Amino acid sequence: METLSIILLCVFIPVTVLLSICLLCIHSYWKRKWKSITKENDIEAKGDIKIGNQSKENVKHTLRFQGRLEDAQRGPSHQDPTFVADEKLGGRKKKQKVEESKLFEFDPPIGNKNLGNTCFFNSSLQALYFTKFFEDALSLLKVSAPNFQNLKLTKSVLELLEKKNVNHTQELRSVLNAVRNINNQFGRGTQEDSYELLNTLLGGILDELQNGDRTCKPIDVDSGVNGISLKNLFTGIFITIYVYDSCNDVEVDFEEFTTLSIPIADNIDQNFKKLPHRGLQTISSEDPRFDIEKGLAVLTQIEDYEESDLPCRVCNIEGTGKAYRRMLVFTPPPVLVIHIDRFKMNDFNRLTKNAQRLKYPRIFNMAKFCSVANTELSTNSLNYELYAVVVHSGALGGGHYYAYVNTTRMHDVEKWQEHLKRSPLDLEKLKSNVEEFLRKRHEFQDDSGQTEVCKVKDSWFYVSDESVCSASVDEVISHKDAYILFYEVH
């Protein structure tokens, strides 16, 4: 009996231990399995993407400003173009990781104190506050330009941008004084033209960078640090084409521009498609639909002369046919500023205002105003989105300027990089190559395309000096007193 008990104990104990071990293993396995299933469900609920054994979260990537400067010094190869900054990029922008487009979100605008009839000044500044990469370009110049402290206007504008979220009246006054040093009509306590102020401010900054000071070399405005060139941000290139019947010669000239001033056009020449020479052709031959497109059509229309009045400057032969001239956009800038020319002198030599309401789109395509001579352009790269409007309300004597700004836009990284990293052009070499290209006989082409629809919800604000409130896109589009329109590559 004792022997049997010993045998049973010897068998029972190992079996019990073995079963316990098996149960523990099974319990551990199902516990791990349950955690894995729960984790996968959580990932799917958050909208994450499963890649192999890793999950890729749709999160913001924070890149500190100092780190961005270090990347700029190491070179563009160290930067990841798929990630964007959440720390003071170009003002007050917050960005989000997406595939090719990124969401730009600015903080709501802060008003500017009126320093005495300075609404013309404040309204243009609001548009610049919400211009992508404007502050970035100045900030990067600050650390790269040895003579930055001597650039009075550029330095004062950057100081204003850096303090615009707090009490910035002193910085505002410093910018106005710096502009007045360039043109003394500003800052005298009188109401002035907002468009002229904008041209003076932008032109003054570019001149300072180009000329430098007497002790330092000029700053290369064409090759911005980290690919952000202040010049490339606003500067486009016109091409003027001359075509001659008798000799079939083609001649071109180039000229830079930072803004486009268009007339209020009631009627346009409907024969603009009947081109006597391919050299005068645009990328798209779509009809202008909106009023500002009609104004651009007038600006870029074909002019014809008798060859006896405009002889060929290539072969110096005075022909008997027609000479044609057309000015088109050769290289559009990423920021396109369009001025509606409302103020004209009447027959009595008095300045008057044309208060006609003009229709302008939220998004439009510049292809119908760009020359085919630039073979690097295509219709799908020329969509522009409205992001700010400067308004002049009232009559000439007692009018008022204010602005509308959009704080939420999409950002196409590839398109902006193409513009901002554009290399300086050798215009003489380009002139020769373009003339040779346009002299060749080619079939007419039409790269027409549909304008893209804005895919992000608007966040528009009305800003009148220190007064700020939200606005609807319907209130902004086709405003009856729109004066300056700010578009950016969409």
Q: What is the pLDDT of residues 124-161, one digit of tens each?
A: 999 999 999 999 889 888 887 788 888 999 999 999 99
Contact 332, 370 (CB under 8 A): yes
Whether residue 363 is contained in a domain is answered as yes
Cα(236)–Cα(382) distance, rounded to whole angstroms? 13
Residue 88 within any structural domain of the chain: no
User: In terms of residue numbers, what domain contains 432?
Assistant: 227-383+418-455
| CA angle centred on 382, ends 403 and 292, rounded to 5° | 45
| In a domain? residue 398 | no
| Distance separating alpha carbons of residues 258 and 232, to the nearest angstrom | 10
pLDDT at 13: 62
**What is the tens place of the pLDDT at every residue in 26-60?**
656 555 545 444 434 443 333 333 323 333 333 23
What average pLDDT does the segment 438-458 reach?
64
- Long-range Cβ contacts of 91-96 (<8 Å, 24+ apart): 91/129, 91/130, 91/134, 91/135, 91/161, 91/164, 92/165, 93/132, 94/60, 95/60, 95/411, 96/60
Query: What is the structure's pLDDT at 165?
Result: 77
Q: Domain for residue 319, yes or no?
A: yes
pLDDT of residue 46: 35
Domain assignment present for residue 32? The answer is no
Residue 16 predicted with pLDDT over 90: no
Give the chain's domain count.
1
What count of residues does the chain have?
490
Is 113 part of a structural domain of the chain?
A: no
> Do the beta carbons of residue 141 and residue 230 sit within 8 Å?
yes
The reply to whether 184 falls in a domain is no
**What is the per-residue pLDDT across 50-92, written as a single tens digit (0 to 9) for each?**
323 333 333 232 233 333 333 433 333 333 333 233 333 344 4
Sequence-separated (6 or more) residues with CB below 8 Å from residue 86: 60, 61, 62, 63, 94, 95
238 bridge partner residues: 255, 329
Whether residue 473 is contained in a domain is answered as no
